[in-house]
Amino acid sequence: NAGVTQTPKFRILKIGQSMTLQCAQDMNHNYMYWYRQDPGMGLKLIYYSVGAGITDKGEVPNGYNVSRSTTEDFPLRLELAAPSQTSVYFCASRTGQQNYGYTFGSGTRLTVV
């Protein structure tokens, strides 16, 4: 069981470039999430999905887009990268049962220069 797989692990982007952060889970979880973590700032929710075809904005969605065409995959798209998007990005998933926490991927460290 791979759990939650994120690619790439590291990436350097130039200002204005675009990229997609990949996230896949093999646990048949309906709920999937994207968070970003800045030093000393905790985890901030970017977007989430409660099932295939359903997505919703979190606390900090500006500059990002998502899609959820399958249960397994939840890619995060960065358009026109800016230095403020330099962060560590975590994808997570969970079952539909409320009292189960998230399983996190290993993260993507993104630097925008």
Q: Is there binding between residue 62 and another protein (CB under 8 A)?
A: no
Kindly tell me which residue out of 43, 52, 61, 86 binds another protein, with binding defined by CB under 8 A.
43
Report the SS3 class of residue 41.
Answer: coil
Name which of 31 and 64 has its Cβ closer to another protein: 31
Q: Which amino acid is at 31?
A: Y
Q: Which amino acid is at 8?
A: P
What's the sign of the alpha-carbon dihedral 67, 58, 92, 107? positive
| Smallest distance from another protein to CB 23, Å | 12
Residues at the contact surface with another protein, assessed by CB under 8 A? 31, 33, 35, 40-43, 45, 48, 50, 58, 90, 98-107
